[in-house]
Every structure is written in C-alpha cells, then in structure tokens.
Structure 1
C-alpha cells in the first residue's frame, strides 16, 4: 500500500509552501496529483523527492525550464547521466561567464569608488557627465 499525503502534510514534509506546490503543478514541474474521493489532492513519496530535487536545482541556479528538462531526463532517458552531465556543464559555463562579467563590473566599480574617495562629492557626481569617458586622474 502506498502512503499518500495531503497537500498540507506534503508542505510540512518538504518545507515547500502550499502555494508553491500548486504553482509547480500549474507550470508542470510536478505531475498532476491523484485525487481522493473527496476531491482533495493526494501525493506520494515521489513528489516529496521531486520537491527536494526542484529546491536543490534552484539553489544551484537552474531555471524552471532546466529543472523541468532534468526531471524529464531522470524519468525517461536511457542514459540520464549523459544528458544531465551536458546540462550541468553548460550551466557551469554560463556561471563562469557570469562570474567573469561580475568581476569586471566589480573592478570598474572599485576603480570608481577609489577615484571618488579622492575627489569632492560634487566632482564625483558631475565630472563623468561633464567630460565624456572621463577617468580618474590622480
């Protein structure tokens, strides 16, 4: 006999709000639940595992579309690790690119902050507007 949970119990077990569970059903991250004779949703342990997987995927920065694809791979692929590895490596490459972009942004802001610390408030605000492409001159 399969153990089933109400949406309230699933919410407690998984640490996921009821609203979020319903949203995941709506956007097809979770399969439509079976219904009890009273019409209430019933969930089994596989949904608890799916919710943990979705949470972990979100913590790793995967989008809902990527998580949906990973869930599909896990369910239906002959060799799921091959496709999952490809998706994970693609995600790593995207993160590496984003990190580089953020590092460039950080260096630029740091340079501006260092420049501003040596200039007056008015100069800080107006100099870049008055002189296009102006750089800090020490």
Structure 2
C-alpha cells in the first residue's frame, strides 16, 4: 500500500515560495502606487503652475470679489488653463479613489491577476528587467 501513495509535497517549502511570490506582488503594487503618486506630483509641479500663472489676473479679482459667475467666466476664457487644472484635479481624484478602493475593499481579482502576471514576467526576464531590483531583490 505504501508504494501506491503519492509522494508528499514539502508544504514548508511550498508555503515559503508562495509567501515570497505574494510579497513580490505586494511590492509591485507598492511600486505602482508610488508611480501613480509620482505622476500626479509631476503634473502638479509642471502643468498647474502654468495654468495658475495664466489665471493670475482672474485670481486677484476672485480674491476681492468672489462669485461663482466670475470663476466660471475666468475658466471659460482661459480654456488651456482650465484643461490643465482639470487634468491635475482629475488624475489626483482618480488616484485617490483607486488607492482608497484598494485599501478598503482589497484588490479586485482582475487587478490581482494582472499583478501576478507582471511579477511572473519580471521573474522570467530576470535582472535585466527595470523593476527587478525593487520587486525580486
């Protein structure tokens, strides 16, 4: 009867590999979070100052006599500034919502699978991959 039994898997070793893989997936998620916030910061440091500089005369008027109509017309007559501020605000809000969802509800299954596939690709490519030292060190 002993000959018919399947060889047992070393569960301690399998758990160690699985734990290592899960840590790498978590590190990739952290790198993704930092990357998104870095992108948002770059937008605020590059686009927002130009947009606000272009709106400086309207901002002075708004500081003295704020009305929603004056804000609306200030943004309406400066479409590039309005677009720049909308991009900055939109990416910031979307990043906050994305990160809050991940914190409060956990990873959606699709995102978890995407992260796992990416970790496998990084592992397969090895040290030549740009994210190797941050994910698989």
Q: Which has the larger helix fraction?
A: 2
Larger relative contact order, structure 1 or 2 (CA cutoff 8 Å, min sep 6): 2
Q: What TM-score results when the alignment is normalised by the length of structure 2?
A: 0.32
